[in-house]
Amino acid sequence: MGVVNVTPDSFSDGGRYLQAQAAIAHGLALVQAGAELLDVGGESTRSGAAAVAPDEELRRVIPVIEGLKGAGVPISIDTSKAQVATAAVEAGAVLVNDVTALQGDPAMGETVARLGVPVCLMHMQGTPRTMQAQPRYGDVVAEVRAALAQAVARAKAAGIAGDRILVDPGIGFGKTFEHNWALLKHLGRLRELGAPIVLGTSRKAFLGAITGREKPEDRAVATAATVAVAASQGTADVFRVHDVAAARDAVAVGHALRTA
Ligand code: PMM
């Protein structure tokens, strides 16, 4: 899954048209690099990030989804708003990636059920604004698994079919660096949930901490290492990454090791 962020901090100035064109070109380049799915998002979920109004989020993502729907790969919409999910699916998206696991918008569960598309339920402790203040767990793996089990139950109660649900441990979302490593090491314990697992380690701060690489764009090799490890363990089904070519090679390495 290649990441296409349409946020002001991802693409420098220029008009909205230029911004959409840049995002579309970037998405096409990710497909060229081997992405099998593109995740389009218009709201930054970075720690401390402010919320974006629905109208603004729509203005950012819809032209990009329309521009990418002929790219030959399915499009995912990274949003926690039912209104944005609806418009995105009408524009051509076929998966809703909700980092709040249906808790950000009370209408999201029923909306996804009505749209009939699959949904990725990600774990987060707190909200993007507060999540890194003091993440706390007794047993992080058990607690994330339990919270995701509840999220799956919530999704089913809203009418979403069980075979349309994916789960994600939410690396970096209300977790210390140690929590992230523990989740990566024991990711296989999420298999008990019976849902495909999405993993988003790409360029995140816990990789900067061990490599000394301060700039996120310098963390592609470290990201690929996490992808190779999870692929060798067979513990993730979808890798959400910015650097697709490196991640593909890492998947190939992990898979070869797993099947040797
Ligand atoms: N991470 C980010 C945004 N969306 N969605 C899922 N399912 N999993 C993630 O780990 C995830 C996500 C933050 O990363 P970005 O700001 O670099 O896109």
The verdict on whether 240 is a catalytic residue reads: yes
Q: How far is the CA of 153 from the centre of ligand 1 (A)?
A: 22
Our answer on whether the CB atom of 122 is closer than 6 Å to any ligand 1 atom is yes
Q: Which residue has the tokens 């090679």?
A: 249
Structural element, H or E, at residue 95: strand 95-98
Our answer on whether the CB atom of 5 is closer than 6 Å to any ligand 1 atom is yes
Burial class (CB in 10 A: 0-12, 13-18, 19+), 38: buried
**pLDDT profile of the chain (260 residues), mean per 10:** 85 62 96 98 81 92 97 97 98 98 97 98 88 88 98 98 98 96 98 98 97 96 98 97 98 97
Q: How far is the CA of 203 from the centre of ligand 1 (A)?
A: 10
Instruction: Please give the span between the terminal C-alpha atoms of the chain, in angstroms, as a whole number.
Output: 25
Q: How far is the CA of 241 from the centre of ligand 1 (A)?
A: 9
pLDDT at 11: 46
Handedness of CA 225, 229, 232, 238 (dihedral sign): negative
In this structure, CATH architecture of domain 2-184: Alpha-Beta Barrel (3.20)
Coil, strand or helix at 11: coil
pLDDT at 12: 44
Indicate the pTM of the whole model. 0.95
pLDDT at 16: 65
Quote the tokens at residue 63: 């032209």
**Which residue has a Cα nearest atom 9 of ligand 1?**
200
CA angle 113–117–122, rounded 5-degree value: 85
CA dist 30 to 45, 110, 243, Å? 21, 32, 8
What length is written for the chain?
260
Q: Where does the chain hold its CATH 3.20.20.20 domain(s)?
A: 2-184
Residue 95 bridge partners (DSSP): 76
Our answer on whether the CB atom of 171 is closer than 6 Å to any ligand 1 atom is yes
126 phi/psi in degrees, rounded to 5: 85, -155
Catalytic residue among 60, 203, 204, 248: 204
pLDDT at 9: 63
CA angle 209–166–161, rounded 5-degree value: 165
Is residue 60 within 8 A of residue 42, CB to CB? The reply is: yes
Question: What span, in angstroms and rounded, lies between the C-alpha atoms of 224 and 251?
Answer: 8
Our answer on whether the CB atom of 240 is closer than 6 Å to any ligand 1 atom is yes
pLDDT at 137: 95
Residue 239 bridge partners (DSSP): 199
Coil, strand or helix at 238: strand
Our answer on whether the CB atom of 99 is closer than 6 Å to any ligand 1 atom is yes
